[in-house]
């Protein structure tokens, strides 16, 4: 490119920057920008899922994210903790790029007071980029999309923590002058047409395979989710522990789900991968260490967000990083 001679150096740099930004890769995200860790307060699993293995975790969510090499956290209240207001608890989270905070906590519990406290927290923190609805549907979770729910009406609307009308109202609320995305958890068995009234009112879905044996159907289950939610941003949830039987997950199964997710991320089929969870990070699990190493090897790889794929599928639009 030729810069006119009468153009000042400052103006010349401005021209170069504008031309660069107008290119096909105006913002080249890395793989790490699309990786998240699911967070709970320290020790959340000690008296439950980790107890049969006699494992004890003491790590806090942000420290766990840093140990894994991650900068995005989806935080979910567990057993009612932390209690609102959340401002003091949130202090360490301010160093992260993006945080989602729960409007529906672990087990599907929610209250208007909890939701109001979450919106208040978001108003004060630029890096709080969205909200998560955990254990959202009150339906059987183990199994696959092809397995019928135990109901005489397989097409009935699914029972959930909040009604479609409540979701619609939450989705219309503005935070810092804009609407933040709502992400709902959906388990593979819950991928049913009856979920559509609720899906219509959220922006994103994260799919989870509760029973490790069902990971053999991961591709079919994800394809089924794409069919019932064709216009939603989709995320793949990857357990780093076998919660279904309260025992370690094999490295082979960890590798299967992560490598499939990586393919889908590069193809633009998913908006991110979520690893669960922070209270598993410091208890010596092989699947966690394998994941940490995978993140280390892949996080810095470029992933252009404006580029289409060979199939013409555009990469999704992602919440902006914190500028604070």
pLDDT band for 27, please (50, 70, 90 cuts). Answer: low
| N-term to C-term CA, the chain | 35
- As a whole number, mean pLDDT of residues 121-142 equals 97
Q: Which residue segments constitute the domains of the chain, with CATH numbers given?
A: 29-142+157-304 (3.20.20.60)
Smallest CA-to-CA distance from 61 within 51, 75, 49 is with 75
Average pLDDT for the chain? 89
pLDDT in tens, 170-183: 999 999 999 999 99
- Confidence (pLDDT) at 284: 98
Distance, CA of 207 to CA of 194 (rounded, Å): 16
- Confidence (pLDDT) at 304: 67
Distance, CA of 276 to CA of 288 (rounded, Å): 9
pLDDT at 15 over 90: no
pLDDT in tens, 103-129: 999 999 999 999 999 999 999 999 999
pLDDT at 81 over 70: yes
Distance, CA of 76 to CA of 93 (rounded, Å): 13
Q: Percentage of residues in the chain with pLDDT exceeding 90?
A: 82
Distance, CA of 69 to CA of 75 (rounded, Å): 16
Smallest CA-to-CA distance from 303 within 263, 248, 251 is with 263
* Torsions phi, psi for 133 (to 5 deg): -115, 100
Q: Which residue has the higher pLDDT, 23 or 231?
A: 231
pLDDT band for 319, please (50, 70, 90 cuts). Answer: very low
pLDDT at 317 over 50: no
pLDDT band for 74, please (50, 70, 90 cuts). Answer: very high
* Torsions phi, psi for 58 (to 5 deg): -125, 5
Q: Which residue has the higher pLDDT, 52 or 17?
A: 52
Distance, CA of 283 to CA of 280 (rounded, Å): 6
Which residue's entry shows tokens 């630029």? 126
- Confidence (pLDDT) at 107: 96
Cβ atoms of 76 and 106 within 8 Å: the answer is yes
């Amino acid at each position: 490119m030729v810069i006119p001679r009468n153009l000042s150096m400052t103006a010349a740099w401005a021209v170069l920057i504008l031309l660069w930004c107008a290119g096909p890769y105006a913002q080249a995200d890395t793989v790490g920008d699309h990786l998240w860790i699911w967070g709970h307060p320290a020790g959340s699993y000690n008296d439950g899922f980790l107890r049969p293995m006699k494992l004890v975790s003491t790590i806090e969510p942000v420290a766990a994210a840093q140990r894994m090499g991650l900068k995005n956290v989806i935080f979910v209240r567990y057993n009612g903790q932390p209690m609102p207001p959340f401002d003091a608890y949130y202090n360490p989270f301010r160093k992260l790029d993006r945080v989602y905070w729960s409007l529906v906590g672990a087990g599907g519990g929610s209250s208007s007071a909890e939701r109001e406290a979450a919106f208040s927290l978001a108003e004060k923190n630029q890096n709080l980029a969205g909200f998560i609805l955990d254990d959202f549907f009150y339906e059987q979770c183990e199994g696959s999309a092809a397995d019928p729910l135990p109901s005489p009406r397989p097409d009935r609307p699914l029972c959930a923590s909040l009604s479609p009308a409540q979701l619609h109202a939450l989705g219309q609320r503005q935070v810092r002058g804009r609407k933040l995305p709502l992400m709902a958890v959906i388990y593979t068995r819950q991928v049913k047409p009856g979920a559509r009234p609720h899906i219509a009112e959220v922006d994103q879905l994260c799919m989870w395979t509760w029973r490790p044996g069902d990971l053999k159907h991961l591709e079919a289950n994800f394809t089924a989710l794409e069919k019932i939610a064709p216009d939603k941003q989709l995320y793949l949830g990857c357990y780093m522990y076998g919660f279904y039987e309260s025992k370690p997950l094999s490295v082979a199964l960890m590798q299967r789900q992560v490598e499939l997710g990586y393919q889908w991320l590069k193809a633009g089929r998913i908006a991110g991968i979520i690893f669960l969870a922070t209270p598993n990070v410091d208890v010596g699990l092989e699947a966690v260490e394998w994941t940490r190493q995978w993140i280390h090897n892949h996080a810095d790889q470029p992933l252009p967000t404006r580029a289409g794929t060979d199939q013409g599928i555009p990469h999704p639009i992602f919440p902006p990083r914190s500028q604070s």
